Chains A and B, each alone.
Chain A
Amino acid sequence: MFNLNMSLGKDFWLRYWDKIKAMADCFDYSYIAEFLLYFLSFYLVLKILKDNKGSKGIALICVAVFGVGFSLTLSDTIPSFILITVIAIFDICVLIMYDTEIKRSLLGSGNKKHAKKDGMTVRDIEFIIDEIIHAVQHMSKRDIGALIVLSNENLPEGIISSGTVINADINTAMIEAVFYPKAPLHDGAMVIEGDKIHAAGCFLPLIQNDNLPQEVGSRHRAALGVTTVASVTSIVVSEETGVISIIKNGEVKKKYANEADLKNALSDYYWNDLTGEGTKAV
């Protein structure tokens, strides 16, 4: 039981300080090991929460640790493993809640840069961007469904191997030929890596999110799914409406993308994602 008679005034804090001094007197190296373990555990959990806008979770952990901690010091009967249990529960909850984000970082699909752009000139890149935009707009006008993934060699190998490796040059005709409704590879995703169409007909993981409206089709779900597990950008052309959408980081960045939005997304991919932020090809 809590010692309710104990004053939280000066005496209490003096006694508290004496306890800390007594603890320091019988210092043990196991404290360092304990500290490192807790630091690592807190750091990983807080980083996951901060990266995923989990500010409430961060606040909750702080309140829980200090709340349970002070309860431990005020009471003689509460065992100290309660605090360890609380921390463990928080860790497990975060692991379960953010499993896809953790999976993405463990798959090594972060901001991996590659040197595939060596040898590509500014004119080459502008040509490729124009070709992709023309193809996407043309398919949009004709209501041809398409799913293009702008990858940075960071897609899980299983996704590439589920399709057919093409390694073709990027041009409007080639992109449209792949997505032509009777073409064998049209029912899958096209993976673009730098200046090449790396693969087509690839099957992507669908996002498992019950909050999505029913009208979100499998092509959009696949685009959301792949951008959740890997740091890639997806361009989707709806087969029903011809609407072009840009999807990144598991979110629809532009639901009704126009030419300028496409150009921005592609420029961002070619200038930032591939070469490193702010770097431009020569």
Chain B
Amino acid sequence: MKKVGKFLKSLFLNNVPIKLLALVLAIATVVFINI
């Protein structure tokens, strides 16, 4: 569990570019709302 937590932390804090994450979330939101 600890390893999974560390992996998620590193994934969300360091490795994922914020613009890419915002892009994915924005596209997902538009799809979820209009589908």
Contact = CB atoms under 8 A, between A and B. Distances in A.
Nearest to A72: B32
Nearest to B33: A80
Contacts of A13: none
The DSSP consensus for interface residues of chain B is helix
Contact of A38 (B8, B9, B18, B30): B30
A46 B28 contact: no
B11 to A, nearest CB: 8
Interface of A: 19-20, 23, 31, 34-36, 38-39, 41-43, 46-47, 50, 53, 55, 58-59, 61-62, 65-66, 68-70, 72-73, 80, 83-84, 87
B31 interface: yes
A83 B29 contact: yes
A43 B29 contact: no
Residue among B8, B23, B26 facing the most chain A CB atoms (10 A cut-off): B26
Contact of B26 (A42, A58, A62, A68): A42
A53 B13 CA distance: 7
Given A50-B13, A55-B9, A42 B32 contact: no
A20 B12 contact: no
A38 B31 contact: no
A206 B9 CA distance: 32
B13 A38 contact: no
A58 B25 contact: no
A23 B12 CA distance: 30
Interface residues of B, number: 20
B1 interface: no
A23 B35 contact: yes
B33 A43 contact: no
A46 B18 contact: yes
13 contacts: A23-B31, A35-B26, A38-B26, A39-B26, A42-B21, A42-B26, A43-B19, A55-B9, A58-B12, A58-B13, A58-B21, A65-B25, A65-B29
